Structure 1
Amino acid sequence: MTLPASLRPWAACLLFASLASPVLAANSDVILHNGKIVTVDAKFSVQSAIAIRDGHIAMLGSDAAVLAAERGPKTVVTDLHGATVLPGLFDSHVHPLGAGLSEFRGKLPVFDTYDTIRKYIRAKAATTPKGQWIIVPRTFPTRLDELRMPTRELLDEAKEHPVMFDASYVVIVNSLGLKISGITRNTPNPPMGEIVHDRNGEPNGIIKNAQQLLKGLKEDEGFSLDEKRRALEDMLRRYVEAGLTSIGDGAVYAEEIGLYRDLKAAHRLPLRVTMTARYDAGRPLEDLRRDIQALPYKTNDGDDWLRFGAFKVNVDGGMTIGTAFQRQPYGEFGAQLYGKTNPDDRGQLFETAEKLLEIFRVARDKGWTLSAHCQGGGAIDNFLGALDALDKIKPIAPTRSHLIHASFQNPHAIAEMKRLGVLADVQPAWLYFDTPGLQKTMGAEAMKYFFPLRSYINAGIIVAGGSDHMIGHDKNSAVNPYNPFQGMWNAVTRRNIRGEVIHPEQCVTREEALRMYTIWAAYRHFAEKTRGSLETGKLADLVVIDRDYLKCPVDGIRQIEPMQVMIEGRTVYTRPAHK
């Protein structure tokens, strides 16, 4: 990419100081001036200079005022040459360990067609011992050109290997995989799971929420603890290069907690992390109650580098695979896109309302913010019903509990969120990737409130932006892309991969999109007093970018590249000259 002429001198000598005569009364460590400092404060003010001292913002204002008040004999003064500075960006929902491991041993193709899947299976079959599983890494039928769920026939490209196609809450296995797992037409469905059958009553390879039925499947391809630690650290560094200074890990277990703590203890944690503790609500209630009450941590335990966030359960499956629990059936098109055999199928609800309420009651009493993966409208209603019952005992709003995804909304649910003080954790990039198939499946009325960002904001609901990044290293081609500027562009334009604008009345402004990835995300994580905006006294987390976010052509938003990232006033990333 060619930089504007005004940025070339700055980019070529990014951190060279242009020191004038010292003013002995001030001792700021760093001053950035002659820029466009987008503060994202309450007034969304724009300044030209910022001073940093001891990792915090000491002053913002005009060049003359900041230089006069804050420049000392050791201050490093950098001329931005008009470049734009934003607060450090926040992705509220990523899965960095799985993403880091996904390409730790080799790059993956982008699985966007059946042909790509076939080629991948053939290549793996040539190097995998006969009888061992081949895993096609995660993607979704809504991301395939065919807009059709694979079945065992596609995966039968491999005759001497069992094959599993990972679609998250749904997996598809080939004929040999079904055979060695002992799955036949007479195999009963496991609790909360389903073995899908074809018209002849035979398993067609689609297995919903029942991966435990598969025999001989390795959990993590034998990664050592050190490899996992390295993969996690490398992925976190890639997030920094994308302009992120804070993330929310969307689901941690004991292993992830240990890895994060190891990195922090070794001073190798590249950015700030909030951990969401995920629990399997399918376990017996008494076991869950005992384990939650025995937890040695709760929301906000930790510090600005590593802390615990919300308590999370999964209420339903996924919208991209047809297991999200909807308010109405998926209908006939669900047969093609999702491989459904029952047109009255509404998806999968993993737990009863009564059990969900009790789990949340125990977690709330323990001191947790409550959250849940809820994709379909029926699941959203279930979650809000549980929070309404808790709110009658003690107000839920102070906990900053939130819906994760909440893909299919309606006006009543949005009103309930506002009344209860529930926040929204959203993934705008799904507007880009998944709407071509969803429009055919869900119908026009349901799509009116597919990620209804404008409706949320108009209702006064705090919206935190994120990606749900899970597979792949590249910020633009991963599943799901973690480029925050892609997410902002999606929120502003609502344009999908086919160029269609999906309900433009739900578009947000550039300022609102930026707030989603800064101050509103910080609020969702109880961090708005120290992060999320550039204000005096806050931590000096910021990103210098290669064009004016507020004024560049709208399609230029998704092309923005970070030139420099600072955390606590230290430069942690500088874009190489060759990029």
Structure 2
Amino acid sequence: MKKIALLTLSLTLLFGCGQTDKKSSKEGNSEAQLYYNGHIITMETDEINYAEAVVEQNGKIVFVGNLKEAEKLFSKNTKVDLNGKTLLPGFIDPHSHFGMVSNTMGQLNLNPPPVGNVSSISAMLDDLKKYKEENNIKDGDWIFGWGYDESQLTEKRHPNKKEIDAVLPNNPVYLQHTSGHMGVANSLALQKMNVTSATPNPAGGNIDRLPNSKEPSGLVQETAMYPFVGNMLQILHAKQGEYFDKTQNYYAENGITTAQDGMTDRNSIKFYQKQAKDGKLKIDLIALAGFSDLETNLADSTIHFKQYQNGFKVEGTKIVADGSPQGKTAYFTKPFLTPVPSCSHDCRGLASLTQDQLNNLFKVAYANDNQLFVHCNGDATIDMLIKAHEYACKALSQPLDKDRRTIAIHSQFVRPDQLETYKKYKIEPSFFTNHAYFWGDVHVENLGKERAFFLSPIATADKMGLKYTNHSDATVTPIDPIFTVWTAVNRTSRTGQVIGEAERATPYQALKAITINAAYEFFDENLKGSLKKGKMADFVILDKNPLTTKSTELKGIKVVETIKAGKTIFKK
């Protein structure tokens, strides 16, 4: 698996237009490109369907079907021999954090294997010390790290401020947990963010304390981490332009032609708008605006929700309703089975918002036809989502089953009865099967087999006719749609345990989750996501066919070429 740290590619990446709503400058004159002699999977139907040929012209698909017919209709064309490779619609990213991926370029990678190399707190501290020295970071300057995972450390715990102080006493330090829902600060960082023994826990958050003391340990969870993350983003913002192109290349290298920034502040929205206006998008980029800015964004005439402008659109609004299951801050109806930091009994995690707050957000959004994407891992949070949906519909006299496409992001530990409600109310889940590999063993330990084995239940959702998707949530796990297919099909943990055999997806179901279903999630099903005449010529070419490759070998499939609107943006 590729490391996010290796984002500066040595491969040649060619510039493509990536602008969904712009016509080719050569429209009417552009020579057609006819792709043939490969496994061309259309993803257009619920059943597997192959085509002998697909033809692109002026950035659009103009033919899908029989090779001889294609050759007759397009006699003057460039023929592209696939030589037995597989062509699919370009991968659509259902949920990741484009901006956070960019920001990792200004941070130290503290991930455990296979994403990084940190397996103990002592190794983490050594790396922090080296990072300062090798990058000539001055005393007083902030140092940021990302991706540490206490469940994979030898010590099986979070580091604390005193340990970080020992190696970096003269720099404020903030280390982001792999979940993105917590982090650890050293003493200088806590001081700069005004967190002291007298600081109370914010609503929906926790400031962990040293044993038998009110003194902060350095661990800040959920809303308590917001000031630290906000400060980090402000500091790293200066290099946003430098990182932007490298991040696009990274997505393109993985076959992605449409990316998502899963929670975007107003400054970043303006930055993306400028990049798009200046013609700098190689791929399409979809942003989800932050829920704290909902009313401001709705009143902002420069934000046109659900409309592409030069390859960029703000699709809707992201709400964070709970936390991380592996970080034990996701909100459940039944308690965790193992100890939870700063909790002594009935430890069921944290709701990030009250029911009344969530109700009001749904009401405002639904009144303005603003699509909602709600982060909800635990089943108690999903109950809150359903109640908020019902409340808003009743208050506004709207049908419960209107085609709003409210998306339940993660839906990791959704119950079967909640899936039935999703179906009834036209709420769609965006699953996260990478958890089966990265934290499947941890979930079995923390939650028990019944809950853990039903995580991200693609097989059940498919039988019910839900238009589920499946994502990486990068930076939580790496951008790698092929690996996501592997985790959906195999559901194998780090130790080789199968995390819910009954929920293993077929390869075709796993591909639907990152192509046609992902297009549906964004109201883009008539624009992309399958190979059909009139849709964008967004393609990914793979060295092997996922539908015929042995299931255990799926993660070894390589992206050979990525094509956006008929233009190659990555080629191996």
Fold equivalence (TM over 0.5): yes
Unmatched 5+ stretches in structure 1: 2-25, 281-287, 471-478
The equivalences for 1:232-251 within 5 A come to 232-251=244-263
The equivalences for 1:20-419 within 5 A come to 29-42=32-45, 43-72=47-76, 75-104=77-106, 110=116, 111-126=118-133, 127-144=136-153, 146-158=155-167, 160-161=169-170, 162-167=172-177, 168-175=180-187, 177-178=189-190, 183-203=195-215, 204-208=217-221, 209-211=223-225, 219-221=233-235, 223-224=237-238, 227-280=239-292, 290-291=295-296, 293-296=298-301, 297=303, 299-303=305-309, 305-331=311-337, 333-335=338-340, 339-392=341-394, 393-395=397-399, 396-419=401-424
1:302-322 deviation line (CA, Å, top 9, x unaligned): 358222212121111222322
Q: d(CA) in 1 for partners of 2:211 and 2:250?
A: 47
Q: 1:176 to 1:510 in 2, by over 3 A?
A: same
- Could you state the TM-score of these two structures normalised by the residue count of structure 2? 0.86
Asked if 2 retains the 8 angstrom alpha-carbon contact of 1:27 and 1:71, the reply is no
Q: What is the identity percentage for the equivalent residue pairs of Structure 1 and Structure 2?
A: 24
Greater relative contact order structure (CA < 8 Å, 6+ sep): 2
More off after superposition, 502-511 vs 167-176:
167-176
CA-based RMSD of the aligned residues comes to 2.7
Matched with 1:441 is 446
Asked if 1 retains the 8 angstrom alpha-carbon contact of 2:107 and 2:144, the reply is no
Matched with 1:284 is none
Unmatched 5+ stretches in structure 2: 2-28
Indicate whether 1:495 and 2:504 are aligned: no
Which amino acid in the other structure matches residue 343 of structure 1? H
Asked if 1 retains the 8 angstrom alpha-carbon contact of 2:107 and 2:143, the reply is no
Q: d(CA) in 2 for partners of 1:217 and 1:255?
A: 14
Asked if 1 retains the 8 angstrom alpha-carbon contact of 2:209 and 2:342, the reply is no
Matched with 2:566 is 569
Which amino acid in the other structure matches residue 113 of structure 1? S
Does the residue aligned with 2:454 lie in a helix, a strand or coil? coil
Which amino acid in the other structure matches residue 149 of structure 1? H
Asked if 1 retains the 8 angstrom alpha-carbon contact of 2:30 and 2:58, the reply is no
Asked if 1 retains the 8 angstrom alpha-carbon contact of 2:254 and 2:559, the reply is yes
More off after superposition, 497-506 vs 214-223:
214-223
Does the residue aligned with 1:446 lie in a helix, a strand or coil? helix
Does the residue aligned with 2:483 lie in a helix, a strand or coil? helix
The equivalences for 1:428-467 within 5 A come to 428-467=433-472
Q: d(CA) in 2 for partners of 1:423 and 1:388?
A: 15
Shift of 1:79: 1.6
Shift of 1:518: 0.2
Q: 1:565 to 1:178 in 2, by over 3 A?
A: closer
1:416-472 deviation line (CA, Å, top 9, x unaligned): 1111110011222122111222211111222132111112222221111221112xx
Asked if 2 retains the 8 angstrom alpha-carbon contact of 1:316 and 1:349, the reply is yes
Q: d(CA) in 2 for partners of 1:402 and 1:213?
A: 27
Shift of 1:414: 1.2
Q: 1:258 to 1:326 in 2, by over 3 A?
A: same
Shift of 1:47: 1.6
Larger Rg: 1
1:94-153 deviation line (CA, Å, top 9, x unaligned): 212221232158877724432331212222454444454433324333454544333335
| Equivalent residue pairs, number | 528
Q: d(CA) in 1 for partners of 2:145 and 2:419?
A: 37
Does the residue aligned with 1:103 lie in a helix, a strand or coil? helix
Asked if 2 retains the 8 angstrom alpha-carbon contact of 1:39 and 1:535, the reply is yes
Asked if 1 retains the 8 angstrom alpha-carbon contact of 2:257 and 2:284, the reply is yes
Does the residue aligned with 1:307 lie in a helix, a strand or coil? strand
More off after superposition, 490-499 vs 159-168:
159-168
Matched with 1:536 is 533
Matched with 1:5 is none
Shift of 1:347: 1.6
1:519-574 deviation line (CA, Å, top 9, x unaligned): 00000011111111111221111111111221112232111111122122222221
Asked if 2 retains the 8 angstrom alpha-carbon contact of 1:298 and 1:366, the reply is no
Q: 1:543 to 1:391 in 2, by over 3 A?
A: same
Asked if 1 retains the 8 angstrom alpha-carbon contact of 2:101 and 2:247, the reply is yes
More off after superposition, 108-117 vs 547-556:
108-117
Asked if 1 retains the 8 angstrom alpha-carbon contact of 2:402 and 2:426, the reply is yes
Which amino acid in the other structure matches residue 38 of structure 2? G
Q: d(CA) in 2 for partners of 1:83 and 1:262?
A: 37
Does the residue aligned with 1:93 lie in a helix, a strand or coil? coil
Q: 1:214 to 1:301 in 2, by over 3 A?
A: closer
